[in-house]
Amino acid sequence: MSIDPLESSRRNFLARSGPALATVAAVKAAFADTLTRYSPAGPAWKTDEGYWGKIRGKFMLEKGLHYLNNGTVGPTATPVYENLLEYWRLMAVNPNENSAPLQARMDPIREKAAHFLGAAPAEIAILRNATEGNNLVAQGIDLKQGDEVLIGYLEHDSHRQPWLVKAKRQGIIVKEVEIHTPPKSPEEILNAFAAAITPRTKVIATTHCDTVTGTFAPIKEIAKLAHDKGLFCFVDGAQVMGMIPVDVHDLGVDTYSTTCHKWLCSPAGTGLLYVRREMQDRIWPNVVTENWWTYKDARKYDRVSRRPWPVVASLEDAMDFQNAIGRPRIEHRIRALSSYLRTQAAEIPHVKLYTSNDPRLSCGMTSLGMDNVGADFMREYLRQRYDVYTAERAVGVRYPADPHGVEGIRISTHIYNTFEQVDLVLQGLRELSSGKAKL
Ligand SMILES: Cc1ncc(COP(=O)(O)O)c(C=O)c1O
């Protein structure tokens, strides 16, 4: 096939002029400008569905899909997605030169993330997800044979398996602390950990908000308990960043891992790890490359060579997006929707709530089951009848250690959800409750 020289030079021109027209700095400047004009909230924002409708309009979820599964993965907001595409384009047209300005976003991101989590920038590593952070901590801390690690029994496997691997390799003992589902109070969780401590315990490693029931643990009190006893406190906060404001210094934990592609709605493949400055000499990095030792802070944990820089750069945009709305406002909306769901669901015969409505114990996720239908049917019924998308939480599938039999669905509410969507869930539950629901 012959190539038209004019067409080919035009293509070359377009390819070369592209990056000149849209640099990373230009994309960022345009984005910042968009955010300053972002749906300003009126004084009645709490109940102003028009305001929340505008926020919802910034997401491109499929028409008709009622996505209530942010706890698994969150949707990327349109302006963040558009930047991501632009970053990938820059990489495609001039991979090496355009990598540099994207890679250079690591430090501003570290600073922004530190601000987001209440840490110092030198305490933040930029990783792919919470799993990576949890593994890094478990494998990176030196423990001796016979040392005990206490974990909660509703840990996500990404915070259980790393400790079990360490047990196999190094002979540590991992103990799962049982907590009733749902706990009656934060003290119940604290007391369960306190009671499990023995002279051989060295670590309490638990989740801030568990993935099964969405229950929040009193991390500040657990960290204090750990430190009073001379133990480390490592926390998996995968479900928390972007759901409620977090201040890791105030919590007093030693490490805190989190995922950004859940409640922060950053593109998939973004996570953060906080390592308290004093802990950095005790926790080894897992993946290292040239000059890693020259980094005397948490940057040593993210020396993983070339990365998908567009995805990393988008993490900054996702934080900017949430900051533009306001984090307390986001928490308020999430709570309003979930609290409404829990209050109404509690009135429906056969429904069993696994998530407390006490604001100290819950926020954006609700697990519930029914004693007259199985979890599979509940989830499928809501999906097929109403296009409501939830997560299944069935006993024996992922949490064989659960003695209390959590079996049901998990419903997440975020800022792009509406009360009408929660009403659809409730409508479906009422139909299931009547025993007449058929697919
Ligand atoms: C509590 C908890 N920890 C860790 C993870 C793993 O997160 P990621 O897939 O981002 O590594 C999840 C994911 O659902 C989770 O809910």
Ligand 1 atom nearest 262 alpha carbon: 10
CA dihedral defined by 136, 141, 145, 150, rounded to 10 degrees? -80
Q: What percent of the chain has pLDDT over 70?
A: 92
Query: Which residues are within 8 A (CB) of 44 and not within 5 positions of it... i.e. 6 or more apart?
Result: none
Task: Give mean pLDDT, residues 221-242.
Answer: 98
Distance 25 CA to ligand 1 centre (A): 32
Q: Please give the single-letter amino acid code of residue 294.
A: T
pLDDT for 306-364, tens place per residue? 999 999 999 999 999 999 999 999 999 999 999 999 999 999 999 999 999 999 999 99
Distance 41 CA to ligand 1 centre (A): 32
Pocket test for ligand 1, best of 137, 158, 256 (most atoms within 8 A of CB): 158
Q: Residues 424, 426, 429, 435: is their CA dihedral positive or negative?
A: negative
Q: Which residue has the least CA distance to atom 10 on ligand 1?
A: 129
CB of 128 within 6 A of ligand 1: the answer is no
- Listing DSSP states for 128-150 in one string gives S-HHHHHHHHHHHB---TT-EEE
CA dihedral defined by 136, 209, 161, 401, rounded to 10 degrees? 170
Distance 10 CA to ligand 1 centre (A): 47
CB of 236 within 6 A of ligand 1: the answer is yes
CA separation for the pair 163, 250 (Å, rounded): 26
CA-nearest of 70, 22, 95, 24 to 308 is 95
Mean predicted lDDT score pLDDT of the chain: 91
CB of 211 within 6 A of ligand 1: the answer is yes
CB of 166 within 6 A of ligand 1: the answer is no
CA separation for the pair 176, 126 (Å, rounded): 29
Pocket test for ligand 1, best of 137, 151, 156 (most atoms within 8 A of CB): 156
Residues written for the chain: 439
Task: Give mean pLDDT, residues 262-285.
Answer: 97
Task: Give mean pLDDT, residues 200-225.
Answer: 97
Task: Give mean pLDDT, residues 85-98.
Answer: 94
**Residue keyed to tokens 């979890």:** 375
**Cα–Cα distances in Å, from 1 out to 4, 9, 15, 439?**
10, 17, 22, 56
**CB–CB of 121/111 below 8 Å?**
yes
pLDDT number for residue 405: 67
pLDDT number for residue 29: 86
SS3 368: strand
Q: Residues 168, 169, 175, 180: is their CA dihedral positive or negative?
A: negative
Distance 372 CA to ligand 1 centre (A): 30
Pocket test for ligand 1, best of 259, 365, 410 (most atoms within 8 A of CB): 259
**CB–CB of 437/379 below 8 Å?**
no
SS3 360: coil
CB of 158 within 6 A of ligand 1: the answer is yes
pLDDT number for residue 394: 61
pLDDT number for residue 16: 44
How sure is the predictor about 33, in pLDDT bands with cuts at 50, 70 and 90? confident
Phi, psi dihedral angles at 183 (to 5 degrees): -65, 150
CA separation for the pair 110, 87 (Å, rounded): 19
Pocket test for ligand 1, best of 131, 153, 240, 263 (most atoms within 8 A of CB): 131
Distance 259 CA to ligand 1 centre (A): 7
Q: Is 80 exposed, middle or buried (0-12, 13-18, 19+ CB in 10 A)?
A: buried
**CB–CB of 190/220 below 8 Å?**
no
pLDDT number for residue 309: 96
Pairing of strands 408-412, 365-370: antiparallel
Q: Which residue has the least CA distance to atom 14 on ligand 1?
A: 72
Q: Which two tokens stand for residue 120?
A: 């110092």
Q: Which two tokens stand for residue 379?
A: 């989830």
CA dihedral defined by 237, 243, 247, 251, rounded to 10 degrees? -50
**CB–CB of 269/308 below 8 Å?**
yes
Assign residue 396 a region: left if phi > 0, alpha if psi is -120 to 50, beta otherwise?
left
Distance 213 CA to ligand 1 centre (A): 13
CB of 155 within 6 A of ligand 1: the answer is no
Q: Which residue has the least CA distance to atom 16 on ligand 1?
A: 211
pTM: 0.93
Angle at 355 between CA 56 and CA 240, to 5 degrees: 50
CB of 259 within 6 A of ligand 1: the answer is yes
CB of 130 within 6 A of ligand 1: the answer is yes
CA separation for the pair 427, 141 (Å, rounded): 49
Distance 136 CA to ligand 1 centre (A): 14
Q: How many CB atoms lie within 10 A of CB 402?
A: 19
pLDDT for 355-387, tens place per residue? 999 999 999 999 999 999 999 999 999 999 999
In the DSSP assignment, the letter for residue 279 is G
CA separation for the pair 243, 263 (Å, rounded): 5
pLDDT for 377-422, tens place per residue? 999 999 999 999 999 876 544 444 455 568 899 999 999 999 999 9
Query: Which residues are within 8 A (CB) of 392 and not within 5 positions of it... i.e. 6 or more apart?
Result: 375, 376, 378, 379, 408, 409, 410
Q: How many CA atoms lie within 13 A of 434 on its CB side?
A: 8
